[in-house]
């Protein structure tokens, strides 16, 4: 819930008082923040005891538990969005 509140604060700043010339800087800062988040995830992984053991013994099973649900979710959402949403999304950013 906090996430929505912070996003809303950002939306208000962007709508009413953020200088448009700083748009690029804002985007660059988002990349920096993302890298910090991913780095922190890596630190958490590296500090997890038995990570290597877990991966070697349960890695394959975990991969199957990851791939099948992920692929099915993707297929279903693809058909739903193609059927019910506007087709205005493949343009390059």
How far from each other are the two terminal CA atoms of the chain, in whole angstroms?
29
Q: How far is the CB of 19 from another protein (least distance, A)?
A: 10
Contact call for residue 24 and another protein (CB under 8 A): no
51 and 45 Cβ atoms separated by less than 8 Å: yes
CB of 73 to another protein, least distance (A): 3
27 binds another protein (CB under 8 A): yes
**Per rule CB under 8 A, count of chain residues that contact another protein:** 72
For 4, other C-beta atoms within 10 Å of its C-beta total: 8
Min dist. Cβ of residue 53 to another protein (A): 9
CA distance 83 to 77: 10
Interaction between residue 56 and another protein (CB under 8 A):
no
Coil, helix or strand at residue 49? coil
Query: Is 21 a residue that touches another protein (CB under 8 A)?
Result: no
């Amino acid at each position: 819930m906090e996430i929505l509140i912070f996003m809303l604060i950002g939306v208000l700043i962007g709508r009413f008082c953020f200088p448009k010339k700083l748009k690029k800087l804002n985007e660059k800062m988002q990349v920096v923040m993302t890298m910090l988040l991913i780095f922190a995830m890596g630190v958490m992984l590296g500090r997890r005891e038995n990570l290597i053991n877990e991966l070697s013994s349960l890695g394959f099973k975990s991969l199957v538990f990851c791939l099948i649900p992920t692929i099915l979710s993707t297929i279903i959402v693809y058909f739903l969005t193609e059927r019910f949403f506007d087709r205005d999304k493949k343009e390059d950013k």
